[in-house]
Amino acid sequence: MNFKKSNKLYKKGLKHLVGAVNSPVRAFSSVGGNPLFIKKAKGTKITDVDGNEYVDLVLSYGPMILGHRHKKVQKAVEKALKNGYSFGASTENEIKLAKIVCDAFPEMDKVRFVNSGTEAVLSGIRLARAFTGKDKIIKFSGCYHGHQDALLVAAGSGLATLSLPGSKGVPEGAVKNTLIAEYNNLESVKKHFAEHDDIAGVIIEPIGGNMGVVIPQDNFLKELKDYLETKGALLIADEVMTGFRSKFGGAQELLGVTADITCLGKVIGGGFPVGAYGARNEIMENVAPLGGMYQAGTLSGNPIAMAGGISTLTELKKQNPYEKFEEIGAIIEVILLETAKKYNVDLTVNRFGSMLNPFFTKTKVTNFEEAQTSDTEKFAIFFWEMIKNGVFLPPSQFEAWFLSSALKDKDIKVIADAVEAGMLAVSK
């Protein structure tokens, strides 16, 4: 396997693109080497510019849940393209996608489409403040909610990958209303409520996916929701990653908890730029033009993205792949654990449905601190061995691996062989 063309493009890209990438997680900073440049993808496979083919477990960081270029999505998008790309006025497809999304989340009467997960969350936070009239927001360390100023503290994802505590350029004032709690620790939330009486709500990734995969323990979410109700504060579920992935109704359906405000992205656009936030009527009525909370977007509800979203979610509902995800996820988990055992490699695997990832540590990983006990040098060795053996992984210990419903037995065989090579290399 050679990466000649990727390396050449990387050098060329450095001139006018920052680090030759348009999102820092795409850089290979924490695993060494240069980022791969992709030419195309189809089904379970992604192909780089040198013609190397990989089973794709990145899936564009989650959206490609049906695999790449599913024929129904392709057809729907091509059809939409023929009618025009953007109108600055409403289309029927926005109503259709809104119905699919609202039907999937029982507490959601209305939804507003935006262009990314970041926009969804920043609008969801604004809405929580508008509705409650309070300013403070609690977030959990290790949870990533996009790159808005207020939540770019103790965030996982690219910041964890690059070992950054927060972002430069975020003024102190922008985070003065952000309080940090520890994931899976209700007491750390209660402590803030004991000290502040102006907390609008708590934002959470109901299944952590940006410090690696971290699973809510026991009744953590349910207890959190019950507690917030006693305080008149809102639960804001950031389901940008888990929405329509953990279950059709997201992590909320899987865990039996309903949030007050839900933020979505990734899967709902089927690979096109879409985000959304939604809630029950009494909350959504605060959003302009019905209410005084302003939020807008030139390309919001973009017709191509709506076609991508409707076709993806319609096909997803039909396929109902969640049991299959559970089965395949469990198989990959066993492959990882048994191979690690064979080569005496310390490994913890966290998995929830179609999101999983291995941590190179003996420690159980239930929060960001424990996630950081993983040996990231071992991860880097493992990562490159997986690449060389035909499996495309996120180039970071702190990003989840995603499964698509297109995965076949032969892909799992490729993954198993690559894991064998990876663990062997790590053990040396």
Q: Which residues does the annotation mark as catalytic?
A: 144, 238, 266
Nearer to ligand PLP, 207 or 284 (CB): 207
Q: Which residues pair with 41 in a beta bridge?
A: 46
262 is a contact residue toward ligand PLP (CB under 6 A): no
241 is a contact residue toward ligand PLP (CB under 6 A): yes
In the structure encoding, which two tokens stand for residue 113, read together?
């489409």
Residue among 306, 299, 318 at smallest CA distance from 270: 306
Contacts of 275 by beta carbon, 8 Å cutoff, 6+ apart: 113, 114, 115, 116, 117, 118, 119, 120, 121, 240, 263, 264, 265, 268, 269
Count of chain residues binding ligand PLP (CB under 6 A):
16
Residue 273 beta carbon to ligand PLP: minimum distance, rounded to whole angstroms: 7
178 is a contact residue toward ligand PLP (CB under 6 A): no
116 is a contact residue toward ligand PLP (CB under 6 A): yes
Q: Which of residues 352-381 bind ligand PLP (CB under 6 A)?
A: none
Hey, which bits of 115-198 come out as E strands?
A: 136-140, 178-181
Helices vs. strands in the chain: H and E counts, helices first? 15, 14
Nearer to ligand PLP, 120 or 130 (CB): 120
144 is a contact residue toward ligand PLP (CB under 6 A): yes
DSSP string, 55-77: EESSGGGTT-TT-BT-HHHHHHH
117 is a contact residue toward ligand PLP (CB under 6 A): yes
Q: How far is CA 174 from CA 152, 159, 165, 188, 195, in A?
A: 10, 18, 15, 22, 20
Site string for ligand PLP, 20-59 (x = CB under 6 A): ----------------------------------------
In the structure encoding, which two tokens stand for residue 53, read together?
């083919």
61 is a contact residue toward ligand PLP (CB under 6 A): yes
Residue 50 beta carbon to ligand PLP: minimum distance, rounded to whole angstroms: 27
Is the Cβ–Cβ distance between 246 and 353 less than 8 Å?
yes
Q: Which of residues 200-229 bind ligand PLP (CB under 6 A)?
A: 205, 209-210
Question: Which of 265, 271, 358, 422 touches ligand PLP (CB under 6 A)?
Answer: 265
- C-alpha span between 310 and 97 (Å, rounded): 5
Question: Which of 100, 101, 121, 332 touches ligand PLP (CB under 6 A)?
Answer: 121
Tell me which residues touch ligand PLP (CB under 6 A). 61, 116-118, 121, 144-146, 205, 209-210, 238, 240-241, 265, 275
